[in-house]
Chain A
Amino acid sequence: MHELSIVSSIVDSVTESLAVYQGARVLEVRLRVGALAAVVEDSLQFCYGIATEGTLLEGSKLVVQILPVVMHCGACDADGEIESLQSFSCPRCGEPVSDLRQGRELEIESFEIEDAEIEKAGEAVTP
């Protein structure tokens, strides 16, 4: 149950990045989480509500994209998704593989803000 520490890190990172967007409200935070990252989405969601209370992220939505484990098979010279977390072998030839190319990610991809100030200033807004 280290999801609370993880969520607290998310709150810190986003809050830090918000310094340049004075008065902005966070609507959504998007994560990329590998299937081997050892975090549970339900726990993340549960902790998110608690950890964001009283912060600039309060009330925002947490969107978690789970990434499958992708390995590289030397024998086939190709990448592929492993079929289960109980067998780290090539889905094509069955050869055991330890060269993983995806699956341990634990990152904040982006966040969406509602930015009243920018609209007022008539600045260009990135879509």
Chain B
Amino acid sequence: MTTRIVELRQGILKKNDELARGLRQQFTSAGVLVLNLVSSPGTGKTAFLERTLRDLLAHGSRAAALVGDLETDNDARRLAASGAPVRQINTHGICHLEAEMVSKHLEGWDLVGLDYLFIENVGNLVCPSSYDLGEAVRVALLSVTEGEDKPLKYPTLFNSADAAVITKVDLAGPCEFDREAAFKNIRAIRPGIRVFETSAKTGAGMAEWLEYLKELRVSHAGS
């Protein structure tokens, strides 16, 4: 019996990566800026996104969202109250979004008519980091209720982020949130990353975040 070694040198997530590349091209040519929001469950991704959508729409921007959850369309209904077009992706047990799910849920959607598309990933600080969704910007969120060392515990995700958002800062006092430690930890994992401190409830930090979104649109236009 003879044995032989077959060299493959192939990305395991090749199919996802190829689809994501196609999506990225599609987004770029449509002129829509796509952001992938990742965090653990309970960080307040949906509240933050609700506020972001409302504020963007109020400023005359055209924004939409895709939201991923294992089950229910609760988040889509919450987000749709902002007036933005929203679609829910139910993964039925899968712990992350994949490019194929995004692609399927975009069918029939007029991307050219959008300035921003937000993809709210399934709440999970591990698995979403492996799956490219074709986004231009990946945003990792961390709430003041979670503990400042989250970035150190989940370096793979925070290292893959382009920007970080600290949420629920209105609760920082009661939670004895150590702001400096949080910044230090985020930047130990991702040196130089932009960090925003926000509260969806009070609106704190939202102006700076919206300004950043505007800058991103300019810097990604024609790239």
Binding site for B on A (CB under 8 A): 1-2, 5-6, 9-10, 13-14, 17, 21, 27, 31, 36-39, 85-89, 96-98, 100, 104, 106-116, 118-119, 125-127
Cβ-based interface call for B174 (8 A): no
| Residues of A with C-beta under 8 A to B11 | 106-107
Kindly identify, within residues 1 to 24 of chain B, every residue whose CB is under 8 Å from any CB belonging to chain A.
Answer: 1-15
User: How distant is A43 from chain B, measured CB to nearest CB, in Å?
Assistant: 11
User: How distant is A57 from chain B, measured CB to nearest CB, in Å?
Assistant: 13
Query: Within the complex, which residue of A85, A110, A116 is in contact with B6, where a contact is CB–CB below 8 Å?
Result: A110
- A13 and B2 in contact, given A2-B127, A97-B191, A110-B7 (Cβ under 8 angstroms): no
B4 & A126 in contact (Cβ 8 Å cutoff): yes
- A17 and B5 in contact, given A6-B13, A9-B15, A86-B152 (Cβ under 8 angstroms): no
B127 & A1 in contact (Cβ 8 Å cutoff): yes
- A13 and B5 in contact, given A37-B130, A39-B130, A88-B189 (Cβ under 8 angstroms): no
Question: In the complex, A127 Cα to B191 Cα: how many Å?
Answer: 45
- Identity of the chain B residue whose Cβ is nearest the Cβ of A14 in the assembled complex: B8
Kindly identify, within residues 164 to 223 of chain B, every residue whose CB is under 8 Å from any CB belonging to chain A.
Answer: 187-193
B95 & A115 in contact (Cβ 8 Å cutoff): no
| Contact residues of B: prevailing secondary structure | mixed
| Residues of A with C-beta under 8 A to B187 | 96
A2 & B130 in contact (Cβ 8 Å cutoff): yes
Of the four ranges (under 10, 10 to 19, 20 to 34, 35 or more), the interface on chain B belongs to 35 or more
Question: In the complex, A86 Cα to B158 Cα: how many Å?
Answer: 11
| Residues of A with C-beta under 8 A to B155 | 36, 85-86, 88
B13 & A110 in contact (Cβ 8 Å cutoff): no
- A5 and B94 in contact, given A106-B12, A108-B8 (Cβ under 8 angstroms): yes
Query: Within the complex, which residue of B4, B14, B156 is in contact with A118, where a contact is CB–CB below 8 Å?
Result: B4
- A38 and B13 in contact, given A2-B95, A108-B8, A118-B2 (Cβ under 8 angstroms): no
| Residues of B with C-beta under 8 A to A13 | 8, 10, 12, 14
B190 & A2 in contact (Cβ 8 Å cutoff): no
Question: In the complex, A110 Cα to B8 Cα: how many Å?
Answer: 5
| Residues of B with C-beta under 8 A to A10 | 12
What's the count of A-B pairs with C-beta under 8 Å? Answer: 118
Query: Within the complex, which residue of A2, A39, A113 is in contact with B96, where a contact is CB–CB below 8 Å?
Result: A2
- Identity of the chain A residue whose Cβ is nearest the Cβ of B156 in the assembled complex: A38
Question: In the complex, A2 Cα to B4 Cα: how many Å?
Answer: 30
Given contacts A115-B3, A119-B2, 16 further A-B contacts (CB under 8 A): A2-B96, A5-B98, A9-B14, A17-B6, A31-B12, A36-B160, A38-B126, A38-B157, A85-B156, A86-B188, A88-B189, A88-B191, A106-B13, A107-B11, A126-B4, A127-B5
A98 & B191 in contact (Cβ 8 Å cutoff): yes
Q: Which of A2, A14, A108, A127 has the most CB of B within 10 A?
A: A2
16 contacts between A and B (CB under 8 A): A1-B127, A5-B98, A6-B12, A9-B13, A13-B14, A86-B152, A87-B188, A88-B155, A96-B188, A104-B160, A107-B11, A108-B8, A108-B9, A108-B10, A110-B5, A118-B4
